[in-house]
Amino acid sequence: MSQTRIISPEELAAQRPFTDWVRAHYEAQGIAPLAYIRSFGCQQNVADAEHIKGMLAEMGFGFTEEPGEADFILFNTCAVREHAEDRVFGNVGALKTFKTRKPSLLIAVCGCMVQQEHIAEKFKKSYPFVGLVFGTHVLYKFPELLAGALRGRKRVIETPNEDGNIAEGIPVRRDGDVKAWLPIMYGCNNFCTYCIVPYVRGRERSRKPEDVLAEARDLVAAGYKEITLLGQNVNSYGRSEGFEVDFPELLRRINAIPGDFIIRFMTSHPKDATPRLFDTIAECEKVSRHFHLPVQSGSNRILKAMNRHYTRESYLEVVDYARKAVPDISFTSDIIVGFPGETREDFEDTLSLIDRVGYTSLFTFIYSPRVGTPAASMPDPISAEEKSKWFQELTARQEEIASRRLADMMGKRFRALLETDAGGFIEARLPDNVIVRVQGDRALLGHRAIVEITETKSWILIGNIVEIID
Ligand code: 5AD
Ligand code: SF4
């Protein structure tokens, strides 16, 4: 059974005096404080940052895109690959001059990266101008931590290691008004051998279905047109808790909320993608026909070494079943190149798998050793140059697959959500998650339209709005 701690309403209410204290602290100095928040990594981090912004807004903060103007700077970090960590160290290092120029500035780092002991230690020792460091399990205590850092002479470093908690009712300030993130679960129990997530995000735990549904209803009532359900492994929603509502049932209930909106979700683990899930998607008209199903590798030997609990064959069975149940479904995937011990033959299995599936797009990564994970101590004889060549080969192969797919779409008409103002044009998203650039007025954002594809440029589609639906 999971060791999830539910943060009680009283514990959350205990944050109130700290919120008030921070507000008063700036008011007393006649300052209208500004915060600069930058998130790295996945959508869960973006969702966490929306809660941090919600708390900051209650403390009287406004927001800025200019770190030079800020009274509070926060980096919300990702630990999945070394490259992201290096960027954070570089970016935080560059803030030192801001602190020298404005000593009242508070610089903070939070998120997955600092949940690792050696990283928290590094910030403590080598980044003395960082006044607040907090991990993934104390987000609900942010007002208290911030007040402590502003009040005291001492730096606040709080990165307790626990199985994880769930806190309902933290304020939220969403980044957009068309698309919304809706976390349904946190943490991961899978321990894929390359992955740091189970160590930094704790055990898998799900929010109660009634809490998820209430938030989904609020979002629809507020006019959101696209709701993305978030979790490391949404297919095992409710399993640790023994909820009667599993993921397909949750989809069915959200789908039943009256209103015109699209439901997306990520991420799914192939071992838990059941026929029932695809049958449910087929019946739920609001659920997007796009499925992100990370395969990681096409080689059974590597999948086993990764501890993924499925084979190439069983993965392909899932894809085939899904296509039968939901004929217009499209797939995207994550792939790791150069896992320790991967050979040319293993890599070719990955190439043949992507040919066979025909993904719309791929997120491809070169394997990055993570401290404390089993794969980090596996023999890894292939050189970085060789891995980089394989990586290029994989992306080139995927481009061919994608451009063939896009070329097939020329002249056809699709329903699309007019989603983002991209400066000079609008990005519209098709049901299978492909983006089309169309000309149009900003006022059309959030509407749905029929678009016709008029041009394809490698991976970019260009189209015209034929008709506004709603
Ligand atoms: N190295 C490279 N890629 C990784 N991912 C996770 N851990 C690592 C790692 N150590 C990738 C996986 C996962 C995605 C979010 O990041 O493909 O699905
Ligand atoms: Fe990492 Fe695997 Fe969990 Fe995904 S399922 S977060 S890759 S351990």
Name the residue at shortest CA distance from atom 5 of ligand 2. 190
pLDDT at position 31, please?
96
d(CA 375, CA 187): 20
pLDDT at position 405, please?
85
Shortest CA distance to 355 belongs to which of 311, 433, 298? 298
d(CA 318, CA 426): 35
pLDDT at position 407, please?
87
Q: What is the DSSP letter of 149?
A: H
Phi-psi region of 404 (alpha: psi -120 to 50; beta: other; left: phi over 0): alpha
Name the residue at shortest CA distance from atom 12 of ligand 1. 334
Phi-psi region of 219 (alpha: psi -120 to 50; beta: other; left: phi over 0): alpha
Q: Which of 42, 337, 354, 365 to mutate to test the pocket of ligand 1 (most atoms within 8 A of CB)?
A: 365
pLDDT at position 441, please?
86
Domain 5-165 and domain 413-468, same fold? Reply is: no
User: Residues lining ligand 1, CB < 6 A?
Assistant: 80-81, 194-195, 294, 296, 334, 336, 365, 367-368, 370
pLDDT in tens, 46-74: 999 999 999 999 999 999 999 999 999 99
Neighbours of 443 (CB within 10 A): 8
φ/ψ of residue 414, rounded to 5: -140, 155
User: Residues lining ligand 2, CB < 6 A?
Assistant: 188, 190-192, 195, 197-198, 232-233, 269
Domain boundaries, the chain: 5-165, 175-407, 413-468
Q: Which of 81, 185, 192 to mutate to test the pocket of ligand 2 (most atoms within 8 A of CB)?
A: 192
pLDDT at position 469, please?
86
- Which residues does residue 287 pair with via DSSP β-bridges, in sequence order? 263
Q: Which CATH number fits domain 5-165: 3.40.50.12160, 3.90.400.10, 3.20.20.70, 1.10.3720.10?
A: 3.40.50.12160
pLDDT at position 47, please?
98
Q: What fold is seen in the domain 413-468? A: OB fold (Dihydrolipoamide Acetyltransferase, E2P) (2.40.50)
Determine the CATH number of domain 175-407: 3.80.30.20
- The one-digit pLDDT tens for each residue of the chain (470 residues) are 457 899 999 999 999 999 999 999 999 999 999 999 999 999 999 999 999 999 999 999 999 999 999 999 999 999 999 999 999 999 999 999 999 999 999 999 999 999 999 999 999 999 999 999 999 999 999 999 999 999 977 899 999 998 999 999 999 999 999 999 999 999 999 999 999 999 999 999 999 999 999 999 999 999 999 999 999 999 999 999 999 999 999 999 999 999 999 999 999 999 999 999 999 999 999 999 999 999 999 999 999 999 999 999 999 999 999 999 999 899 999 999 999 999 999 999 999 999 999 999 999 999 999 999 999 999 999 999 999 999 999 999 999 998 888 888 999 999 999 998 888 899 999 877 789 999 988 889 989 999 999 998 766 799 999 999 87
**Dihedral sign from CA coordinates of 183, 187, 193, 194:** positive
